[in-house]
Structure 1
Amino acid sequence: MGDVTSAAEAAEAAARRSYGKLVAILAARTGDVAGAEDALSEAFGAALADWPVRGVPATAEAWLLTVARRRIVDAVRRRQQDDDASRHFALLEELAEPADANALPDRRLELLFACAHPGIDRQAHAPLMLQTVLGFDAGTIASAFLVAPAAMGQRLVRAKAKIRQAGIGFRVPGPAELPPRLDSVLEAIYAAYAEGWTDGGGADPRRRNLAEEAIWLGRLVAALLPGEAEALGLLALMLHAHARRAARRDARGEYVPIAAQEVSRWDAAMIDEAEGLLHRANAFASPGRYQLEAALQSAHSVRRAGAPVPWAAIVGLYDALQALSPSPVTALNRAVASAEVQGPAAALAALDALGSDARLRDYQPYWAARAELLARAGHAAQARAAYERAIGLERDEAVRRFLQQRAALL
């Protein structure tokens, strides 16, 4: 006899660990992403009913894959009278293969590139990858891309239907097909990393290990495409940021901003690897967004040698990034960095110019930056109001406490 709680925890752990891997295996055979997700959902439902009674199987992923395959086989049999019966029988034979837990192929990279097919609406590429490969729900994806949940849900449904109807193959494209798809793949990997990065304390089970998964995918793309500077740049960016993960919280679990972090707690080996990747990317002389963002992260690493942070160079890097890939977030970060060169008044003027952008209205870093700059400029009442707005928008308890402490100093 099993235990309901332990069975549910085992199912949740399997979903976090292997959701995208299992969807990729199933969808690669059927070409139907939505059908694969439905079958896997039914398999998880069966697990929650079966495992408390019979116990959690030794190989949970293999059990889930077997049940999901059976669901797909049942669906195929129900429609085998349609169109091409021979195709259905061939699919049945493929799906009938036993699931060997020690030999489950990892086809997530192929699924990533399938989701980035030029026949699919480009706006759906990264959201589709986040949902199918990493298991994000539509609401979370909508929030990340500043889109209404209903609109994002419709976009995802249409994209999955396109994969099935157009018979889009699950394979890594050849050199000629690669450029249009690579940007979308890198964007999805970075979005996944950013979601994991926001859970600095590792308290959210949905985000736990997400940053590590994104780095793994980044390594896979960089190994597959060693001549793509932006693939190398993205991996360097993620490693630079991840090298500081242990320093983002102190011994009591309180948030520590980068300027106050103990460099001895940074992962030196990871930073060295990131620097090597960035050097390799620079050799191609084709600068891109991720290389510039990695260079911005690299600029902070000079503190390891006791050197001051080169703020003027950082402002220049933000200028280059804004020229290459304009965004309100880049403009915000550029304004904050400029305060270290020109003072808080100039930075506040830059923030005022961004204030009309609706995308920043509920963006916590905008209000936190504004509060800090107002405080430095001596505008205590306005700073307090900005801190209150930032505190209300922040989900991370440790960051919220940090902001409250900063406000209290006023």
Structure 2
Amino acid sequence: MNDPAAHRAAERAARESYGRLLAILSARTHDIAASEDALADAFARALERWPADGIPDQPDAWLLSVARHRRLDAWRHTRVQDAATQTLLLLAGEVDVGAADGAAVPDERLRLLFVCAHPAIDAAARAPLMLQTVLGLDVARMAGAFLTSPSTLGQRLVRAKARIRAAGIPFEYPQARDLSQRLQDVQDGIYAAYGTGWDDVDGADALPRNLTAEAIDLGRILCSLMPNEPEPLGLLALMLFCESRAASRRSEAGAYVPLDRQDMARWDPALLAQAEECLRRASGMQRIGAYQLEAAIQSAHCERRVGAPVPPEALVALYEGLLALRPSVGAQVSLACALANARGPDIGLQALDAIPADEVASYQPFWAARAHLLAAGGARAAARQAFDRAIGLSTSAAVRAYLNGMSERL
């Protein structure tokens, strides 16, 4: 039976609740891969049953109950009986009871994020593992963001899931001695999720997942979980500053609009106020961190809405502080642009030239920045070559059109 309403309900559950469901299933068994299979079976069953039986009052609870029973059936079939099986046998009816009395499915996503950040897991696999397990992103979509091929990334993720099960990594929040590094990895995973959704502004994904909202939601949960940690507040402030400008990133016709040309009337004042408050609270704890500095940079960019732009040298100082705390190619490129704005394009180009060539060969922001600075300095032929390189590396049609227009005007 083809029931559009049932299909929409299943898609909405997949988009909004996949990570919550997978986290609960995985927490009992420490087997993420098997839990993913059980959850996939549950969604397939929903598409079969909901058109005939109707959409349940608690779709999440229905899916979790079916997935748990599918997992138990698999154990019974293989005659595996261990402590985890016995635990699941006792818990199998939990969600059925919860569905009857309207109880909500608990949110265990942050617990799963900390599992993915465990030091026993390869560092290169942690952030993509978070994105796949908690937000349901597929390997093909993530590979480009992590500068690797889908096959290589897929192998990393398979190994990471096997490692979690084999090592019996506990599904719990880390002890104080382990908190700093794992918190950093969790924050990086959340920000990677936000960046993936931010980059998808053109809507090329066939199944939009509203990743920016998911990431902000996780950021809020992290702040409530760790109210005395300043960096989660810095991360949340950073995402809120960026999100406040989301509506102004495209013109009415869909054309790309750079930050310095955006219509400030389209910025969201409520989100800006929330971001400033988060940054103020983080600053009050007097433990500076990279996400707080990034948020401060965004705050500085937003000050022109009240007619008080931050002096260019102040932005240079902020980027220098960010590089001192957490060096990255992105921060180096941004510092070069800040230097160009404060001291001229030649100084900015010198800073770009100081970055090792192999680190920026395929880094689109570097070539876009280089093209703009070359054009500002009058080197038109070199600027056109850099624009061509940036256009070729751009995944956004709107950004390609903008850069092509800049090149043609030369």
TM-score using structure 1 length: 0.92
My pick for the range that moved more, 364-373 or 135-144, is 135-144
1:193-212 equivalent positions in 2, closer than 5 A: 193-212=194-213
Are 2:265 and 1:268 aligned? no
Q: CA deviation at 1:9?
A: 4.6
**1:374 aligns to what?**
374
Mapped contact 1:199–1:208 kept (Cα < 8 A): no
- How many residues get paired? 406
Q: CA deviation at 1:204?
A: 3.0
Q: CA deviation at 1:280?
A: 1.8
Q: Which amino acid in 2 is paired with 1:385? A: Q
- The CA distance in 1 between the partners of 2:154 and 2:386, in whole Å, is 33
Q: CA deviation at 1:45?
A: 3.0
Per-residue displacement from partner, 1:253-291 (whole Å, max 9, x unpaired)? 221111011222111222122122212212222211101
Q: Which amino acid in 2 is paired with 1:93? A: L
Is the alpha carbon distance of 1:395 and 1:121 closer, same or farther for their aligned partners in structure 2, counting shifts above 3 Å?
closer
Q: CA deviation at 1:336?
A: 1.1
Q: Which amino acid in 2 is paired with 1:123? A: A
Are 2:2 and 1:2 aligned? yes
Is the alpha carbon distance of 1:288 and 1:207 closer, same or farther for their aligned partners in structure 2, counting shifts above 3 Å?
farther
Aligned alpha-carbon RMSD (Å): 2.2
Q: CA deviation at 1:174?
A: 4.1
My pick for the range that moved more, 15-24 or 393-402, is 393-402
Mapped contact 1:245–1:266 kept (Cα < 8 A): yes
My pick for the range that moved more, 264-273 or 231-240, is 264-273
Q: CA deviation at 1:51?
A: 4.8
Is the alpha carbon distance of 1:395 and 1:55 closer, same or farther for their aligned partners in structure 2, counting shifts above 3 Å?
farther
1:87-98 equivalent positions in 2, closer than 5 A: 87-98=84-95
My pick for the range that moved more, 317-326 or 55-64, is 55-64
Q: Which amino acid in 2 is paired with 1:367? A: W
Q: Which amino acid in 1 is paired with 2:88? A: L
Are 2:409 and 1:409 aligned? yes
Q: Which amino acid in 1 is paired with 2:93? A: A
Mapped contact 2:64–2:95 kept (Cα < 8 A): no
Which sections of structure 2, spanning at least 5 residues, go unmatched? Answer: none
Q: CA deviation at 1:6?
A: 5.8
Q: Which amino acid in 2 is paired with 1:265? A: R
Q: Secondary structure at the match of 2:148?
A: coil
Are 2:109 and 1:112 aligned? no
**2:361 aligns to what?**
361
Per-residue displacement from partner, 1:134-180 (whole Å, max 9, x unpaired)? 11222333322223333322221222122222322222234344223
- The CA distance in 2 between the partners of 1:352 and 1:238, in whole Å, is 30
Q: CA deviation at 1:105?
A: 1.1
- The CA distance in 2 between the partners of 1:375 and 1:6, in whole Å, is 53
Q: CA deviation at 1:222?
A: 0.8
Q: Secondary structure at the match of 1:354?
A: coil
Q: Secondary structure at the match of 2:33?
A: helix
Are 2:231 and 1:241 aligned? no
- The CA distance in 1 between the partners of 2:20 and 2:234, in whole Å, is 25
Are 2:275 and 1:278 aligned? no
Which sections of structure 1, spanning at least 5 residues, go unmatched? Answer: none
1:26-45 equivalent positions in 2, closer than 5 A: 26-45=25-44
Q: CA deviation at 1:111?
A: 1.0
- The CA distance in 1 between the partners of 2:254 and 2:103, in whole Å, is 38
- The CA distance in 2 between the partners of 1:81 and 1:408, in whole Å, is 67
My pick for the range that moved more, 203-212 or 5-14, is 5-14
Are 2:350 and 1:339 aligned? no
TM-score using structure 2 length: 0.92
Identical residues among aligned pairs (%): 52
- The CA distance in 2 between the partners of 1:354 and 1:180, in whole Å, is 27
Mapped contact 1:126–1:187 kept (Cα < 8 A): yes
- The CA distance in 2 between the partners of 1:87 and 1:364, in whole Å, is 47
Mapped contact 1:24–1:133 kept (Cα < 8 A): yes
